[in-house]
Chain A
């Protein structure tokens, strides 16, 4: 029973991170009907940048890893990292997708696959071929315990939650209540009409990519700290999980992406704990395929589309 709750907690924590990445997929798909293959690799770069930040703080500035100052400085780096990944994501859109705005639908998708590999190799160049351990800046002290005395969760989970949840809420607010957010939603619904209504479509799309990239960067920082490492192939691993989350929640649906993230996070945690980690990818992929075949609009959608 405790095993179950522990796995659930891990699942929820991971799930929020996955949801943060999934939102990036869903935002971009909503506005361009494009699966941004490179998105998860932008996230990976976020983990890499965090690695370098902690290296700088601990090795460069000599601040001890376990000190509060180190953690504080690292969290200070969060907006910087988010800006960087946001910029990278928006640049990818300008370079690789915008020229293909009017091309047949599969053209930007193939271009996205190409960009994904480019970013992966940038990560490879920066990090080398194996995992790199991130300085243990994140305190791991267990705070809450089960009746049996086993640890349930600790400061690290709390910090993860206090980064991810506010970001998710802020995003919710932004898309729902601000003018730019409305522009994003309008452009997602009908690009041509929005343009005719005076919305600067290109700027709105760039903004979408900036936000998606920023979220990916934040998720990157969280993962680098929480998992304690960075790896140039993180894009592949997390990409699968978060894309599945986006699809599950109904691609284009923000709340759905978050809920989908939680669902996938829990499924993955359960699989890791109760089956075997080597089967988790198979299970998640199968889930993705099944959802796409039987409920492509996602588990949360109310309507199914016409047959013809």
Chain B
């Protein structure tokens, strides 16, 4: 068993090897980078030149990139560690509100955004640990509910603390501890304005460069930079010892523990690192929009990020980025465009003629979550690995009985065929030529647990 005949090494097609593929990837990357850098500058001219096309404007791209950061963060939690988090928006809110508290007139604190950014990340990470510590031991679906609850609680607390009075009951003297009607969080109205990031360098933009929604192009480059940082960090994490530990936990938590992985702290790391990216995005959003209010951080946003990940490819870095751009483009540009140009008016006329108010007021964009919901159902049934999965994911998501051998399997088939060769070679020097060669198979033996 320990000595092998040095047979010629068989390489099955590996998308990462091979010059042509490598070159193709670099070309694609170059195109994407060029597009990203140049598009905002040529957008105006493009949309003037070819008007009847739903070109996304730069502001939409900024939103896309923000959600790409969110998706990469949730991808650590869901894709790497396999934990379903339905309240991811909570950390987004915490990042944004931390920024609002520390860089606005609300409390009169004006710390530079470039510093506040990291404080927001830290705040989100800390809350990630606080939420995760008691809850990560729960089973998958219960964890989902708990995180959903947390997401809602955060939103509601931020909304409610805009008007709060805490007083001792009359029996104890009725002293007012907080308030009366203290405005801690801006309540429904929110906090406004928030200091945007500033670089005090004069140029064609004026005395200083302000990265707010007044200067969308500059903000796009900023968020692009944040996205790139996020992407590289996630990639490093994935290929590290920690990334392997996460994958092991996702595969088989008991076996992972039996290999020395402290599953509690490892999951907690996934949770809080994922949360930090959400805080990262929140800090940017708050400052970019120069205003926040509680209702924007709703359960729907959490689900949107989940849809992005499912659509793009759970666990796949480029998949979730592509998914984010695709989905937010659809939500902010394509749907409104289709509505305005194709559907809304006929529906309006139909409504007028039939007297149905609902048709008269029909706007396609109102039903965006109908589309997202359908996407979720269809993806889970037909392509749970997503549209742009990593190589290994395809094989995984299709359970026993569904065509794992067909979908994920060109690699597997080849391996199996390779087995045939290799087993014979291996047995050649064996002194017992009558020993039966083991039939290659992926499923013999007692059933693998789970």
Contacts and interface: CB of A to CB of B under 8 A. Distances in A.
The answer to whether A and B touch in the complex, with CB atoms under 8 Å apart, is yes
**Interface core residue of A113, A116, A118, A121 (most chain B CB under 10 Å):** A113
A114 B401 contact: no
B204 interface: no
Contact of B150 (A100, A117, A289): A289
A281 interface: yes
A127 B356 CA distance: 11
Contact of B156 (A96, A120, A282): A282
Interface stretch (B41-49, B368-376, B425-433): B368-376
A147 interface: no
A292 B160 contact: no
A103 B398 CA distance: 7
Contacts of B375: 114
Contact of B149 (A110, A129, A279, A289): A289
B377 A293 contact: no
A110 B399 contact: no
B157 interface: yes
Interface in A64-117: 95-96, 99-100, 102-111, 113-117
Nearest to A282: B156
Contact of A292 (B140, B146, B153, B397): B146
Contacts of B86: 113
Contacts of A109: 84, 140-141, 144
Interface string B417-446: 000000000000000000000000000000
A293 B373 contact: no
B373 A106 contact: no
A236 B149 CA distance: 12
Contact of A120 (B138, B139, B144, B369): B369
Nearest to B152: A285
A251 B250 CA distance: 25
A288 B380 contact: no
Contact of B153 (A108, A122, A285): A285
Given A107-B384, A128-B361, A296-B138, A102 B399 contact: yes
B400 interface: yes
A33 B140 CA distance: 11
Tell me the interface secondary structure of chain A in the complex: helix
Interface residues of B, number: 45
Contacts of A113: 86, 303, 306, 373, 376
Nearest to A122: B370
**Interface core residue of B86, B135, B153 (most chain A CB under 10 Å):** B153
Contacts of A296: 138-139, 142
Interface string A15-37: 00000000000000000011100
B134 interface: yes
A163 to B, nearest CB: 29
Contacts of B156: 278-279, 281-282, 285
Interface string A267-286: 00000000000110110011
A113 B307 CA distance: 10
A282 B157 contact: yes
A117 B160 contact: no
Interface string B385-400: 0000000000001011
Contact of A105 (B141, B145, B153): B141
Contacts of B384: 103, 107
B160 A111 contact: no
B367 interface: yes
Contacts of A279: 156, 160
Given A125-B358, A282-B156, A105 B377 contact: no
Given A103-B384, A111-B381, A293-B134, A117 B152 contact: no
Given A107-B384, A118-B374, A285-B152, A102 B135 contact: no
A117 B330 CA distance: 17
A129 B373 contact: no
B450 to A, nearest CB: 10
A209 interface: no
A294 B184 CA distance: 31
A35 B145 contact: yes
A100 B381 CA distance: 7
B374 A114 contact: yes
Contacts of A231: none
A96 B377 contact: yes
A124 interface: yes
A201 to B, nearest CB: 15
Contacts of B306: 110, 113
A121 B153 contact: no
B358 A128 contact: yes
B376 A108 contact: no
A243 interface: yes
Interface string A169-195: 000000000000000000000000000
A134 B84 CA distance: 38
A125 B372 CA distance: 16
A111 B157 CA distance: 29
A118 B150 CA distance: 24
A111 B369 contact: no
B7 interface: no
Given A102-B401, A103-B384, A293-B135, 9 more contacts: A96-B377, A106-B140, A114-B375, A124-B366, A128-B357, A128-B361, A286-B153, A292-B146, A296-B139
The 3 closest A-B pairs by CB, nearest first: A114-B376, A117-B373, A121-B370
Interface of A: 33-35, 95-96, 99-100, 102-111, 113-118, 120-122, 124-129, 236, 240, 243, 247, 278-279, 281-282, 285-286, 288-289, 292-293, 296
19 contacts: A35-B145, A102-B401, A102-B402, A103-B380, A103-B399, A104-B397, A107-B380, A107-B384, A107-B397, A110-B380, A114-B375, A121-B367, A128-B361, A236-B299, A247-B145, A278-B160, A288-B149, A292-B135, A292-B145
